[in-house]
Structure 1
Amino acid sequence: MPANASNSLTRRDFLRSRISAPVPEFRPPWTDDATVQSRCTGCGDCVDACPQNILELDENRHVRVSLRGAECTFCKACADACDASVFDTEQTPPWPVVAEISGTCLLAAGIACQLCTDICEPQALRLDPDVRPMGRIRLETASCTGCGACLAPCPNTAITLSDRRMKGLAA
């Protein structure tokens, strides 16, 4: 068996539709891909400054967000540490990233769960009890900051983040 066999798609996974989509790469708040590509020097100062440890350098030594169970608090420590003018802290909102809820939400299967609503500080995720049998989580996109706090508590990974710029829906 080849050393990289565990990374390849098996016939069984393909037939069972267990194909995982690639995880989208997000640049930090107050930046965009073009700015990071052209201005980021790869020094890592922003990565070291992030108190949440959600920033890392990609294979090209450009900064990217990797939430790994944490959230962005928009503290601006990354921007303050950057001498390369990669960050524009006047940009409002900090980034056009919002949460999306898939059909695999436990409420859709009739299982009571509201973990995401409990953790959502701006209350962008709310339970709509009018949808039967258990209700449904509604997302108020205008309130969602895209911080990622709702990702880790979701037991069914039904929540993902989406960058509106990647869909042609400029913020």
Structure 2
Amino acid sequence: MSSINQSRRRLFSRKKTDAVRPPWVKQTIEFTDECTRCDKCIPVCETQIIVKGEGGFPEIDFKIDECTFCQQCVNACPEAIFENTDITPWQIKATIQDSCMAYQGIWCQSCKDACDQRAISFSLAIGKAPLPKIDIEACTGCGACVAPCPSTAILVRHV
């Protein structure tokens, strides 16, 4: 197979990414087809969590900070890729991985302390560290719980 055919095949078989895009991106579009990578959303993000990701497309990096839903990315974007900001900003939620310190018997509640929505609670058990539980209905997917986690056990991803 020629290298031109291999390149074409790669072009048309783009792998889907699990990247978290800015809030309010239309669910009905293929983001990488519509975003022009102008980067206007990156400098206006008040918590600086929008970064250049794979292929130069904007992605959210919750290891940096949380999304405050300030809407600055929406306002800065010249393309028609965003929904009305009166709706839920995105379909992502926090999940806790097995690497959570509480699952290892270590008392830690840094994620709960960071969650303004009170979506994370801990259940007490005699002789054990309290275990975390996420209320999926209360979780906004803001990512406030990610950066403070000392064991990087929290992921925010599509549901």
The normalised TM-score by structure 1 is 0.74
Alignment match, 1:106: 101
Equivalent residue number for residue 47 of structure 2: 52
Whether contact under 8 Å (2:35, 2:57) holds in the other structure is yes
Structure 2 distance, partners of 1:57, 1:49, is 13
1:52-131 aligned within 5 A: 52-90=47-85, 92-130=87-125
Pairing partner for 1:141 from 119, 131, 136:
136
Give the 5 Å matches for 1:152-163. 152-163=147-158
**Number of aligned pairs?**
142
State the identity %. Answer: 33
* CA 152–58 in structure 1, closer or farther in 2 if over 3 Å, else same: closer
Provide closer, same or farther for how the CA distance between residues 132 and 98 of structure 1 changes in structure 2, counting only shifts above 3 A. farther
Secondary structure of the residue aligned to 1:64 is: strand
Whether 1:30 aligns to 2:28 is no
| Alignment-mate amino acid for residue 29 of structure 1 | P
1:91 Cα deviation (Å)?
6.2
Point out where structure 1 has 5 or more consecutive residues left out of the alignment.
1-22, 165-171
Greater RCO (Cα-Cα under 8 Å, separation 6 or more):
2
Over 3 Å counting, the alpha-carbon distance change for 1:59 and 1:158 in structure 2 is closer
1:6-47 Cα deviation digits (max 9, x unpaired) = xxxxxxxxxxxxxxxxx9411111115734223212211111
Distance in 2 of aligned mates of 1:59 and 1:128: 38
CA shift, 1:130, in A, is: 4.0
Distance, in Å, in 2 between the alignment partners of 1:62 and 1:104 is 29
Question: In 2, Cα distance between the equivalents of 1:131 and 1:95?
Answer: 38
CA RMSD of aligned residues (A): 2.1
> Aligned partners of 1:59 and 1:133: how far apart in 2?
41
Q: Secondary structure at the match of 1:60?
A: helix
**Any unmatched runs of 5+ in structure 2?**
1-16
